[in-house]
Amino acid sequence: MKLPTVTVSQLNGYIKKMFDSDLTFASVLLSGEISNFSPHYRTGHLYFSLKDEHAGIKAVMFASDAGRLTFQPENGMKVIAEGRVSVFERDGVYQLYVRRLLPDGEGALAVAFEQLKKKLAAEGLFDPAHKKPLPAFPRRIGVVTSPGGAALQDVLKVLRRRYPLAEVILAGVTVQGASAPGEITAALKEMNEKNAADVILLVRGGGSAEDLWCFNDEGIARAVYNSRIPVVSGVGHEVDTTIADLVADLRAPTPSAAAEMAAPDLAQMAEVADALETRLHTAAKTALAMRRSRLELLRSRQSFASMAGVFAAERRRVETLQASMLRAVTGQLSAEKTRCTENRQALSALGENAVRQLRLRLTGDVSRLKGMNPLDVLLRGYAAVYSGDTIVSSAKEVAVGDTVEIRMCDGGLVCDVKEKRE
């Protein structure tokens, strides 16, 4: 039987299909030590190998997945890789395509924690100058935690006891596992976008380092840093410290302590107010009694009586000055009144004289105007000759045959010129 001939590409493609069709290789968790680590400077892809004491496998992590890493992979670091196994057809090499990479073991977690801590510290995310003060009397308190966890019950118990006036806004999220960082980040952003609370409590109960690892996520750290609403973190127990704790505006050792820090104690405030009121009344009574005693002492002294005489003498002096000022002002007003009367009379006399002079001048003007009146001339037997509307003042201005009008005092004559005489 003759075997069929196939190409290398066909063989590699066939083997790839076998891997891709087997669900066993679709999602695997692989533990091992990183070796031959080589990040691609241009694409951002990560190339490395995973090995144990007896074997190794090539691995690749594409930039879209590598961007979510919370630590910097290094040669020799023990990790747990989640991904699928397939074949790179060009080289005929099977390899692990990594979707998620986590440090394996406390030592590796510590290295990853310190790497991210150093990076964020250099960017100023832990700077105390960026920490926001908590509101003294919050109306709404946001809680980001698991809705079924003990941490939520601890927080609610403390808030009901200390500050029942506040409204609690719960953002239920997963606080452990692969989906936790994305859910917590989204909850923090949503509370800020909706301005849902005056202060946010980011809390979770205790657990192992692996259980709390999601709170070391860089995305959560930046969401806490960028939050306009103050964030109080209460993750794990007092000995546990996460990146979220370092970025938060205030870190509490436990979820219950976070609630106590965010809310005032009304009962304690009432006690303080009562004590202050008592102290205020006592201080007021004491001060009043002291001033009353001092006043009585002043009254009993001889110097106080002598001062009364001084005050009486000063009062009499002021009254004398007042009377003197009144007389002076009255005299000044009387003098001004007299001067005004005299000025008014003088102005009146000047006005009458001016009127007489004006009347005489007008009489003379009227006489002169009458002398110039042409009617008076006509009354004396004179006449005026007109040619049309123009007065004729010389015989040269008319010719024989012209018609002229002769106006006299009681009428006029229309005449034809028959003859001119010199």
Give, for all 422 residues of the chain, the pLDDT tens digit: 677 888 988 888 888 888 888 888 888 989 999 999 998 878 889 999 999 888 999 999 999 999 888 788 888 888 989 999 999 989 889 999 999 988 887 666 777 888 889 999 999 999 999 999 999 999 999 999 999 999 999 999 999 999 999 999 999 999 998 889 999 999 999 999 999 999 999 999 988 877 888 999 999 999 999 999 999 999 988 888 999 999 999 999 999 999 999 999 887 777 777 777 778 878 888 888 788 888 777 767 655 555 566 667 777 877 787 777 778 777 777 776 777 666 666 656 655 666 677 777 777 666 666 666 655 665 666 677 788 778 877 777 888 888 888 877 677 888 888 887 76
Q: Are residues 91 and 158 in the same domain?
A: no
Return the closest-CA partner of residue 407 out of 371, 372, 375: 375
| CATH assignment at residue 159 | 3.40.50.261
Q: Are residues 19 and 97 in the same domain?
A: yes
Please indicate, yes or no, if residue 109 is contained in any of the structural domains: no
Return the closest-CA partner of residue 123 out of 229, 226, 41, 240: 226
Please indicate, yes or no, if residue 309 is contained in any of the structural domains: no
Pairwise CA distance, residues 230 & 221, whole Å: 13
| CATH assignment at residue 64 | 2.40.50.140
Pairwise CA distance, residues 28 & 36, whole Å: 21
**CA angle centred on 391, ends 387 and 392, rounded to 5°:** 75
| Structure confidence at residue 378 (pLDDT) | 59
Domain edge (last residue) among 251, 266, 281: 266
Please indicate, yes or no, if residue 219 is contained in any of the structural domains: yes
Q: Are residues 189 and 234 in the same domain?
A: yes
Q: At what angle do helices 302-371 and 266-300 cross, to 10 degrees?
A: 90
| Structure confidence at residue 344 (pLDDT) | 66
Q: Are residues 95 and 150 in the same domain?
A: no
Half-sphere exposure of 53 (CA within 13 A, CB side): 0
> Residue 214 corresponds to which amino acid?
C
Q: Are residues 159 and 90 in the same domain?
A: no
Q: Are residues 88 and 34 in the same domain?
A: yes
| Structure confidence at residue 59 (pLDDT) | 95
| Structure confidence at residue 37 (pLDDT) | 93
Q: Are residues 143 and 248 in the same domain?
A: yes
| Structure confidence at residue 45 (pLDDT) | 93
The total number of structural domains in the chain stands at 3
- Structural domain including 92 reads 8-104
Pairwise CA distance, residues 98 & 61, whole Å: 5
Contacts 24+ apart (CB under 8 A), 178-183: 178/100, 180/214, 180/217, 181/214, 181/217, 181/219, 181/220, 182/219
Domain edge (last residue) among 266, 287, 316: 266
Domain edge (last residue) among 237, 266, 295: 266
Please indicate, yes or no, if residue 316 is contained in any of the structural domains: no
Please indicate, yes or no, if residue 364 is contained in any of the structural domains: no
Q: Are residues 217 and 143 in the same domain?
A: yes
Q: Are residues 169 and 100 in the same domain?
A: no
Pairwise CA distance, residues 241 & 246, whole Å: 8
Please indicate, yes or no, if residue 338 is contained in any of the structural domains: no
- Whether the CB-CB separation of 162 and 264 falls below 8 Å is answered with yes
Q: Are residues 154 and 49 in the same domain?
A: no
Residue with the two structure tokens 């005092």: 409
Q: Are residues 182 and 261 in the same domain?
A: yes
| Structure confidence at residue 155 (pLDDT) | 96
Please indicate, yes or no, if residue 202 is contained in any of the structural domains: yes
Burial class (CB in 10 A: 0-12, 13-18, 19+), 23: exposed
Please indicate, yes or no, if residue 262 is contained in any of the structural domains: yes
Pairwise CA distance, residues 225 & 128, whole Å: 11
* Distance from the Cα of residue 300 to its chain's centroid: 63
Half-sphere exposure of 150 (CA within 13 A, CB side): 7
Strands 411-416 and 403-408: antiparallel
